[in-house]
Structure 1
Amino acid sequence: MTNIETERLILRPQAIADFGVWYPMYADPQIFQVTNSPGFTPEEGWNRILRNIGHWSTFGFGIFSIFQKSDGAFLGETGLANFHRGIDEEFDNCAEASWVISRAAQGRGIAKEAAEAAHHWYVDSFSPPKTVCLIVKHHPASIRVAEYLGYRIYDECLYKGAECFKLERLCEK
Structure 2
Amino acid sequence: MLKIIETERLYLRQFITEDASHFFAMNNDPEVIRYTGDPPFTNQDAAHKFITNYDAYAKYGLGRYAVIRKEDDTFLGWCGLKYHPDKRVVDIGYRFYKNYWNKGYATESARGCIQYAFNVLKYPSLVAHAAVNNKSSHNVLEKCGMDIVKEIDYDGQRVLLYKLENSLYDLKNITAEDTWPVRHPVLRAGRPLEDVYMEADEKESTFHLGIYFKDQIVGVASFMKDHNPIFKGVQSRLRGMAVLPEYRKRGLAAMLLKRGEEILRSKGQDVLWFNARIAAVNFYKEQGYTTFGSEFDIPKVGPHYVMKKQL
| TM-score band w.r.t. shorter chain | 0.7 to 0.9
State whether residues 36 and 136 of structure 1, in contact with CA within 8 Å, keep that contact through their aligned partners in structure 2: no
- Paired with 2:64 and 2:146, the residues of 1 have a C-alpha distance of 19
Q: Deviations over 1:51-100 (max 9, x none)?
A: 5x41001111111101111111110100111256xxxx6xx321010111
Corresponding residue SS for 2:167: coil
Q: Deviations over 1:5-63 (max 9, x none)?
A: 22211210112221122321111111121222233323553444345x41001111111
What are the ranges of 5 or more consecutive residues in structure 1 without an aligned counterpart? none
- Paired with 2:98 and 2:114, the residues of 1 have a C-alpha distance of 22
- Paired with 2:96 and 2:37, the residues of 1 have a C-alpha distance of 14
Q: Does 1:145 align with 2:134?
A: no
Q: Which position in structure 1 is the counterpart of 2:188?
A: none
> Considering only CA atoms, is the larger Rg found in Structure 1 or Structure 2?
2
Q: Which position in structure 2 is the counterpart of 1:126?
A: 121
Q: Which has the higher contact order (CA 8 A, sep 6+)?
A: 1
Moved more, 120-129 or 94-103: 120-129
Q: Which runs of 4+ in 1 moved over 6 A?
A: none
Give the AA of the match of 1:68.
R
Corresponding residue SS for 2:138: helix
Q: Does 1:113 align with 2:108?
A: yes
Q: Which position in structure 1 is the counterpart of 2:182?
A: none
Answer 1 or 2: which has greater helix percent. Answer: 1
- Paired with 2:153 and 2:39, the residues of 1 have a C-alpha distance of 14
Q: Which residue of the other structure, out of 142, 146, 166, is the alignment partner of 1:171?
A: 166
Corresponding residue SS for 2:145: coil
- Paired with 1:70 and 1:166, the residues of 2 have a C-alpha distance of 34
The two structures have a TM-score, normalised by structure 2, of 0.50
State whether residues 27 and 39 of structure 2, in contact with CA within 8 Å, keep that contact through their aligned partners in structure 1: no
- Paired with 2:145 and 2:49, the residues of 1 have a C-alpha distance of 31
- Cα distance change of structure 1 residues 44 and 152 upon mapping to structure 2, 3 Å threshold: farther
Corresponding residue SS for 1:30: coil
Alignment of 1:1-173 (within 5 A): 1-42=2-43, 43-51=45-53, 53-83=54-84, 92-173=87-168
Answer 1 or 2: which has greater strand percent. Answer: 2
- Cα distance change of structure 1 residues 124 and 14 upon mapping to structure 2, 3 Å threshold: same
Q: Percent identity?
A: 24
What are the ranges of 5 or more consecutive residues in structure 2 without an aligned counterpart? 169-311
